[in-house]
């Protein structure tokens, strides 16, 4: 084959973006950037990269932080499990590597939240290891270049793709080559409407020659999002004129693991304020003291990749703090709650209807 690696290096020399995490070979910083960029656009992740490193400049500061603090910095980025894994992996590094962040694939792959791609990226960028870092960009480029209808769920297909990528890493700086492969997929060999006229591989690209660029790589079938109906119950009261609410920390299995929101009734259908309490599964008992007045918010539609949440907020204003706090809930002053990590849905509600709570 023509020297694709050389073509790619030259393309990268000319076209690579000046991204903040490319200025360093510190594996800690590269790790943070790689995790932030998982399933996340550069434009969306960049402010978080700066904020995260400012808050946690090194692995030890991250390891010694509380999980609440880590989640708080991550608030708004999504896929919050990443923040939990980051925290856990930092502790692993302190305990198992004396706080020195590893740069070898075999060590990296053992860390929580670091999979095949991220381990290879850090190992090649920071350790010079010749391991292929195949992300969505690289997969797209290679599948098109060689017209491969690989099954993304097939382990053997992915092994095959790795062998092809390794071919690009021979005799050169593997970190730079991996970066170049990724950048090429991100900027030139884009998912939709790539500008193949401008592509240095135009003559060699099998997908381009055969007019199947748009069909590759093969995408897994998409599942239609399921609708869930949330009715949040907001117990609101005042202490010395300051508004308080009842909140709770979410479980680890469902969406928004370990983040904070309000007591919640989930139903198979939405129900109205009037229906609240009349349906069998509208659980939470009437508080003591009794509700002074209550009203229902408008419906908030929260569209996610795999689910659509229709949420409403039933405000129940109490004359004083509830005598009995439901299991798992606790009282908090509304201002303090603003400082806790919460899903976007809750932030939106607070920004929007927060006035009602005063």
Does 124 sit near DNA (CB under 7 A)?
no
Sole binder of DNA in the list 253, 290, 327, 355 (CB under 7 A): 253
Sole binder of DNA in the list 9, 333, 344, 356 (CB under 7 A): 344
Task: Specify the residue, 164 or 257, whose C-beta has the smaller distance to DNA.
Answer: 257
CA gap 11, 199 in Å, rounded: 10
Binding mask 198-237 for DNA (x = CB under 7 A): ---------------------x--xxxx------------
Of residues 33-92, those binding DNA (CB under 7 A): 33-34, 37-44, 76-81, 85
Residue 34 falls in the annotated catalytic set: yes
φ, ψ dihedrals at 3, nearest 5°: -80, 80
Nearest-CA neighbor of 144 among 217, 194, 62, 241?
Answer: 217
Q: Which residues touch 47 (CB under 8 Å, ≥6 apart)?
A: none
Nearest-CA neighbor of 27 among 105, 102, 110?
Answer: 102
Task: Specify the residue, 31 or 276, whose C-beta has the smaller distance to DNA.
Answer: 31
Binding mask 268-297 for DNA (x = CB under 7 A): ------------------------------
CA pseudo-torsion sign 304, 30, 108, 151: positive
Sole binder of DNA in the list 19, 340, 353, 357 (CB under 7 A): 19
Task: Specify the residue, 221 or 285, whose C-beta has the smaller distance to DNA.
Answer: 221
CA gap 256, 335 in Å, rounded: 21
Sole binder of DNA in the list 177, 186, 199, 315 (CB under 7 A): 186
CA gap 5, 148 in Å, rounded: 19
Element (H, E) at 338: helix 334-338
- Chain-centre distance for alpha carbon 101: 22
Task: Specify the residue, 122 or 284, whose C-beta has the smaller distance to DNA.
Answer: 122
Q: Which residues touch 279 (CB under 8 Å, ≥6 apart)?
A: 267, 271
Give contact residues for DNA (rule: CB under 7 A): 19, 21, 33-34, 37-44, 76-81, 85, 112-119, 121, 135-137, 140, 153-155, 182-183, 185-186, 190-192, 219, 222-225, 253-257, 302-307, 343-345
Positions marked catalytic: 34
């Amino acid at each position: 084959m023509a020297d694709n690696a050389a073509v790619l290096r030259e393309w990268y020399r000319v076209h690579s973006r000046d991204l903040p995490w490319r200025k360093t070979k510190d594996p800690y910083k590269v790790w943070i950037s790689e995790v932030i960029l998982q399933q996340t656009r550069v434009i969306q992740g960049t402010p978080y990269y700066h904020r995260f490193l400012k808050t946690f400049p090194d692995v030890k500061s991250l390891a010694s932080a509380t999980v609440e603090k880590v989640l708080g910095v991550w608030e708004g980025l999504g896929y919050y499990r990443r923040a939990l894994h980051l925290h856990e992996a930092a502790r692993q590094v302190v305990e198992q590597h004396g706080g020195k962040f590893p740069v070898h694939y075999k060590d990296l792959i053992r860390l929580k939240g670091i999979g095949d791609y991220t381990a290879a990226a850090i190992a090649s960028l920071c350790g010079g290891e010749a391991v292929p870092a195949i992300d969505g960009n690289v997969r797209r480029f290679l599948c098109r270049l060689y017209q491969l209808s690989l099954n993304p769920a097939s382990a053997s297909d992915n092994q095959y793709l790795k062998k092809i990528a390794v071919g690009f890493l021979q005799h050169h700086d593997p970190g730079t080559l991996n970066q170049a492969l990724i950048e090429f997929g991100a900027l030139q060999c884009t998912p939709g409407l790539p500008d193949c006229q401008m592509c240095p591989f135009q003559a060699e690209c099998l997908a381009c020659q055969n007019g199947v660029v748009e069909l590759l790589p093969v995408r897994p079938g998409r599942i239609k999002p399921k609708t869930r109906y949330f009715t949040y119950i907001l117990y609101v009261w005042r202490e010395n004129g300051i508004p308080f609410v009842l909140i709770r920390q979410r479980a680890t299995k469902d969406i928004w693991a370990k983040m904070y929101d309000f007591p919640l009734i989930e139903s198979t259908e939405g129900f109205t304020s009037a229906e609240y309490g009349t349906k069998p599964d509208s659980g939470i008992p009437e508080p003591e003291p009794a509700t002074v007045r209550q009203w229902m918010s408008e419906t908030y539609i929260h569209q996610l990749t795999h689910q659509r949440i229709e949420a409403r907020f039933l405000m129940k204003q109490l004359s004083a703090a509830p005598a009995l706090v439901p299991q798992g809930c606790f009282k908090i002053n509304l201002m303090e709650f603003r400082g806790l990590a919460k899903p976007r849905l809750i932030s939106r509600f607070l920004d929007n209807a927060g006035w009602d709570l005063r």
